[in-house]
Structure 1
Amino acid sequence: MTSDVSLVNSQTPESQGPEGQTRTERGLWHYIGVGLSAGLLAVVLLLALLVIVVPKVAGATPLTILTTSMEPRLPPGTLIVVKPMPIDQITVGDVMTYQIRSGDPAVISHRVITITSSSDGTKTFTTKGDNNAEADPPVSEPQVRGIVWYSVPWIGYVNSALNGPGRSLAIPVIAVVLLGYAAYMLTSGLLGALRRRRTP
């Protein structure tokens, strides 16, 4: 009889039927949730770095692709970051962002297919959308805004929303959400550690 009792008492809580299984499952789901939350936070921080911090530091401009002219590489909704580039460093094959008309804020981002130099040293660029059959009208130097430095798929519409009328409201809301999320993660981690200490 004594050996039977000691055998029962030696079982771990995880092996003592439904209650132990429930605890184990809860622990597993907790760690899965923490992992997913940490991954989501890392993605958000990375996007904030690519969309806000890096362009600001480099003096670049984030823009949104709105048409299909540069598919499949740059479909609508893609965020592009346009970096100023000296005219003489722009080469054939670069995706160049330029004003439709000099002085007009509306811009297009198409690939440079030819560069022509005039006798006075100025250059004229011929561009074409990857998905277009015909080339664009010639682009003069004053129209050039820069070249596409890098792009982020699907984030362009978010950038458009932040640069629109809702920018003044959206940025504080996003900041509060991120700070609240970080505080929640920190608090839940501390409470979990305290519970584990108190559990025999």
Structure 2
Amino acid sequence: MEVSPDTVKNVLGYQPFVILTDSMEPVIPTGSVVLVKNLKENEEPKKGDIITFNVDRLGKEAVFTHYYRGTEVQEDGSVRYLTEAALADRYDDYVSHREDIIGTYVFHIPYVGKYALFLKSPFALIELGIIMFIMIIYEILWSKFDKEERKAQEEAEQPEEPKSICSN
């Protein structure tokens, strides 16, 4: 499951990520925000943990969230961390090492990530500008209408001056 690492904040040892793919469905729905607890240098994930980690995917850096299944010693002596998607029947093809692991999954908020990503887009700024413009026009028109209505109401509430009856 690829996640969006753009401007990810590390707050008190936790980081939020947006889930972009369906590889962890139904456990974590696409578009969810996951909170990940950063692993310290001397910490290791436990088998079965859901972990978030960096991956070199076709020459491009990506961040994934998958199950951690164990380790395997490579021919060169390096330790490969084995990961897999929720409904996969085999381990992921890419090679991950301890330094690639960001942290372990804590919880997720379904579908909120879609809105978070939208708010970071230029379209959101344009939409926000349009909404603000409409609100300003509404306020201007409403205040004008309100003044006219109050004036009409005040005129209606003023007592009529008594008419003088003059007899000659």
Shorter-chain TM-score tier:
0.5 to 0.7
**Matched AA of 2:31:** G
- For 1:113, what is the secondary structure of its paired residue? strand
Pick from 104, 110, 113: which aligns with 1:156?
113
Partner of residue 48, structure 2: 93
Partner of residue 130, structure 1: 86
**Aligned equivalents of 2:20 and 2:71: distance in 1?**
26
Deviation at residue 74 of structure 1 after TM alignment: 0.5
| Bigger strand share | 2
Partner of residue 64, structure 1: 18
**Matched AA of 1:84:** N
Structure 1, unmatched stretches of 5+, are 1-54, 177-200
**1:78 to 2:32 alignment:** yes
In our comparison, the structure showing a higher alpha carbon Rg is 2
**Matched AA of 1:153:** P
Pick from 128, 136, 139: which aligns with 2:96?
139
Partner of residue 13, structure 1: none
Q: Compare 84-93 and 94-103 and name the one that shifted more.
A: 94-103
Count how many residue pairs are aligned between Structure 1 and Structure 2: 118
- For 1:101, what is the secondary structure of its paired residue? strand
What CA deviation, in whole Å up to 9, does each residue of 1:67-96 have, x standing for no partner? 221111102111111221125331111111
Q: Compare 58-67 and 158-167 and name the one that shifted more.
A: 158-167
| Bigger helix share | 1
Q: Could you tell me the percent identity over the aligned residues?
A: 26
Deviation at residue 158 of structure 1 after TM alignment: 1.4
- Say which structure, 1 or 2, has more relative contact order (CA 8 Å, 6+ apart): 2
| TM-score, structure 1 normalization | 0.48
- Structure 1's 145 and 165: CA in aligned 2 closer, same or farther, altered over 3 A? farther
Deviation at residue 57 of structure 1 after TM alignment: 3.5
